[in-house]
Amino acid sequence: SDNSPIDVPSPSSSSMTLTKDELKRIAAYKAVDFVKSNMVLGLGTGSTAKHAVDRIGELLRQGKLENIVGIPTSKKTQEQALSLNIPLSDLDAHPVVDLSIDGADEVDPRLNLVKGRGGSLLREKMIEGASKKFVVIVDESKMVKHIDGSKMALPVEIVPFCWKFTAERLRRVMEGYGCEARIRLGEKGEAFVTDNGNYIVDMYLEKDMGDLNLRVVSDEILRLPGVVEHGMFLDMASTVIIAGELGVKIKNK
């Protein structure tokens, strides 16, 4: 089921080049084809997932979808979904999610992901981890050989208490990869605060972690007191929809 080309019009000349946002929308609409009436849906966060949430709202409004329950992965997505009149719930009331749709910052050939540039990685991991099917939507620039935060940093959500201490412990775990650990800043230069009241440390790595070390690195990071969650989503995606200049590819696990 790898690499199946789909019916998206291919631009025949450079004057028809699609923008990144158009590619994101194409991937998002393709993912919403998986949505059926009566589903509990995990609603992702970010500029790609936003298109999917818009589309779900549109199909509900047109009566082409019915009885959908959405579980938003961030306060921002919650606001968007409310503005579209998508009925919302949470994991306490709906512990099993039929389908989640979300973007990613990096995707490797095994469909491991780096997520969290938008800072919503904890709720995303909880909701997408509770999903029977997790469809990831990206433009082709997100595809990498190894997920290692080299496109973006590898984000780690930590508690604010003594964050410098935790950031230094994190840097030391990743020292072998040439790591610089920086606290994420908000618009006014203050520490960025997640929806859960935590901070994010972005880990910039010089060296490739390689495929085999990912679980080990994940466990080492999660063992540190003060760490809440990291942005490596290992073995979670069931399908990745990749929109590129030459059309759409769908990769299944």
Q: Candidates 53-61, 89-97, 117-125, 168-176 — which segment interacts with ligand 5RP by CB under 6 A?
A: 117-125
Secondary structure class of 71 (helix, strand, coil): strand
Number of residues that bind ligand 5RP (CB under 6 A): 18
C-alpha span between 182 and 155 (Å, rounded): 10
Say whether residue 149 binds ligand 5RP (CB under 6 A): no
| Contact call for residue 115 and ligand 5RP (CB under 6 A) | yes
CA distance 240 to 49: 13
- Strand 97-102 relative to strand 131-139, pairing: parallel
Amino acid identity of 57? G
Q: Considering beta carbons, is residue 64 or 196 the nearer one to ligand 5RP?
A: 196
Number of H-type helices and E-type strands within the chain: 6, 14
- Taking CB under 6 A as the criterion, the residue among 104, 143, 203, 237 binding ligand 5RP is 104
**Residue 199, exposed/middle/buried by CB under 10 A (0-12, 13-18, 19+)?**
buried
Residues 121-140 that bind ligand 5RP (CB under 6 A): 121, 124
Lookup result for tokens 């919403």: 32
Which ranges in 92-195 belong to alpha helices (H)?
A: 121-129, 163-173
Q: Which of 43, 220, 202 is nearest to 119 (CA)?
A: 202
DSSP state of 185: B
Binding segment for ligand 5RP (CB under 6 A), chosen from 34-42, 115-123, 203-211, 244-252, is 115-123
CA-CA distance, 133 to 37, in Å (whole number)? Answer: 15
Shortest distance, position 12 Cβ to ligand 5RP, whole Å: 27
Q: Site residues for ligand 5RP, window 1-60 (CB under 6 A)?
A: 44-49
- Strand pairing class (40-43; 97-102): parallel
Stretch that binds ligand 5RP, among 101-109, 164-172, 192-200, 204-212 (CB under 6 A): 101-109
Sheet containing strand 113-114, edge to edge, reads 106-107, 113-114, 232-233
* Part in contact with ligand 5RP (CB under 6 A); list of ranges 3-11, 111-119, 203-211, 238-246: 111-119
Using CB under 6 A as the criterion, what x/- string covers residues 191-230 for binding ligand 5RP? ----------------------------------------
Among this protein's residues, is 229 annotated catalytic?
Answer: no
Distance of closest approach, residue 147 Cβ to ligand 5RP, in angstroms = 13
239 binds ligand 5RP (CB under 6 A): no
Residues identified as active-site: 124
User: Could you list the residues that contact ligand 5RP (CB under 6 A)?
Assistant: 44-49, 102-105, 115-121, 124
